[in-house]
């Protein structure tokens, strides 16, 4: 592994470049390589980012490259693929993006990559599965952004509702990065106090929690309807994941991780809390779910399993 903190970004669309711009602003990466099928755009993005380096907090080498640059990278981030259109669900993107992500992963592995994969292409749980199956890498070294963004949206909306700092809201979205996600409210805290107790003690209607969760899963649809795409939030989420790996943080983030009998499920990637460090997923944190939440989680997992069986397996076998 390269002693340089090197990240290769595959996909220079809005999501990828939002991550790149946040890395430029925050620092912490020595070398950032941009890879895209559109070579001219990649060169333009490299130039535009590099012109901001005199005002960046840390030195960084930015270049337009190709798959050969993956060989000694610490992390490869995949954001390439077709984007979600107004009124379209993430799951509707799966066939097209599975083919794209499969080809990208093959190219990366053919150039000797042995670092950590971070996947953001949608539907992210299924695309993380595609990268894992195609690469043959240990499951712990393939991570999807999962519900990292959903969790950020949840924390923001709870904080706004209760008028507290979002940094002191400890709440998590589990399941699909999509419409079947769930919130295990029993495991949500504001500071060191249970959210459910905060709601009761302040006479807040419990049904408002459902409104908050609805606001989370509906957010992407609303943003896409208004501005055609979402990218700043996921760009920051990707930055957070990259830093957790590069800094060997042992940070707890709700990534798309591979289940092996945790949460009564196995054989899929889906959003759960996990400890992230330089080796990828160190450990999954298994919450004790009540019957209702377990049923919701099972439903979310069944959606992933049925889509793998009906659509993804055939593409992987081509």
pLDDT in tens, the chain (318 residues): 557 899 999 999 999 999 999 999 999 999 999 999 999 999 999 999 999 999 999 999 999 999 999 999 999 999 999 877 777 676 778 889 999 999 999 999 999 999 999 999 999 999 999 999 999 999 999 999 999 999 999 999 999 999 999 999 999 999 999 899 999 999 999 999 999 999 999 999 999 999 999 999 999 999 999 999 999 999 999 999 999 999 999 999 999 999 999 999 999 999 999 999 999 999 999 999 999 999 999 999 999 999 999 999 999 998
- For the chain, the three-class secondary structure string (H helix, E strand, C coil) is CCCCCEEEEECCCHHHHHHHHHHHHHCCCCEEEEECCCHHHHHHHHHHHHCCHHHCCCCCEEEECCHHHHCCCCEEEECCCCCCCCCCCHHHHHHHHHHHHHHHHHHHHHCCCCCEEEECCCCHHHHHHHHHHHHCCCHHHEEECCCHHHHHHHHHHHHHHHCCCHHHEECCCEECCCCCCECCHHHCEECCEEHHHHHHHCCCCCHHHHHHHHHHHHHHHHHHHHHCCCCHHHHHHHHHHHHHHHCCCCEEEEEEEEEECHHHCEEEEEEEEEEEECCEEEEECCCCCCHHHHHHHHHHHHHHHHHHHHHHHHHHHC
Burial class (CB within 10 angstroms; exposed 0-12, middle 13-18, buried 19+) of 176: buried
Angle at 62 between CA 115 and CA 282, to 5 degrees: 25
- Among residues 265, 261, 262, 245, the alpha carbon closest in space to that of 253 is found at 245
- Label the pairing between strands 75-78 and 6-10: parallel
pLDDT at 55 (0 to 100): 97
pLDDT at 91 (0 to 100): 72
Model confidence pTM above 0.85 = yes
- Sequence spans of domains, the chain: 6-144, 148-313
pLDDT at 2 (0 to 100): 55
pLDDT at 193 (0 to 100): 98
Dihedral angle computed from the Cα positions of residues 128, 129, 130 and 136, in that order, rounded to the nearest 10 degrees: 100
CATH number of 148-313: 3.90.110.10
User: Of 51, 58, 177, 187, which one is the catalytic site residue?
Assistant: 177
pLDDT at 178 (0 to 100): 87
User: Does the domain made of 6-144 have the CATH classification 3.40.50.300?
Assistant: no
Give how far the C-alpha of residue 241 lies from the chain's centroid of Cα atoms, to the nearest Å.
8
Active site residue 177: yes
What residues pair up with 274 in beta bridges, in sequence order?
Answer: 253, 284
In whole angstroms, what is the distance from residue 145 CA to residue 219 CA?
17
Domains 6-144 and 148-313 share a fold: no
pLDDT at 90 (0 to 100): 66
Instruction: Look up residue 311 and give its two tokens.
Output: 């659509």
pLDDT at 92 (0 to 100): 77
Backbone angles phi, psi at 227, to 5 degrees: -135, 10
């Amino acid at each position: 592994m390269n002693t340089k903190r090197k990240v290769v970004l595959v996909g220079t669309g809005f999501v990828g470049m939002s991550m790149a711009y946040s890395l430029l602003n925050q620092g912490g990466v020595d070398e950032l390589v941009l890879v895209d099928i559109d070579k001219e755009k990649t060169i333009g993005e490299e130039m535009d980012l590099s012109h901001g380096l005199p005002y960046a907090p840390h030195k960084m080498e930015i270049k337009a490259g190709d798959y050969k640059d993956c060989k000694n990278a610490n992390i490869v981030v995949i954001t390439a693929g077709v984007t979600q259109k107004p009124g379209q669900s993430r799951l509707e993107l799966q066939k097209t993006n599975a083919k794209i992500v499969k080809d990208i992963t093959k190219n990366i592995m053919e150039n000797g990559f042995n670092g950590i994969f971070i996947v953001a292409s949608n539907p992210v749980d299924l695309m993380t599965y595609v990268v894992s199956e195609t690469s043959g890498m240990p499951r712990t070294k393939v991570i999807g952004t999962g519900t990292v963004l959903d969790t950020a949206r949840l924390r923001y909306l709870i904080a706004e509702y209760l008028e507290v700092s979002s940094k002191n809201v400890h709440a998590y979205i589990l399941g699909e990065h999509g419409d079947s996600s769930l919130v295990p409210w029993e495991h949500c805290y504001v500071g060191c106090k249970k959210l459910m107790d905060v709601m009761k003690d302040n006479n807040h209607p419990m049904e408002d929690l459902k409104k908050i969760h609805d606001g989370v899963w509906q957010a992407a649809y609303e943003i896409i309807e208004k501005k055609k795409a979402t990218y700043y939030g996921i760009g920051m989420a990707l930055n957070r994941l990259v830093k957790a790996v590069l800094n060997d943080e042992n940070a707890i983030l709700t990534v798309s991780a591979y289940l092996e009998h945790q949460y009564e499920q196995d054989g899929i990637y889906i959003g759960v809390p996990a400890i992230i460090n330089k080796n990828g997923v160190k450990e999954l944190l298994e919450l004790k779910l009540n019957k209702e939440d377990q049923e919701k989680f099972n439903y979310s997992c069944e959606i992933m399993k049925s889509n793998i069986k009906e659509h993804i397996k055939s593409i992987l076998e081509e």
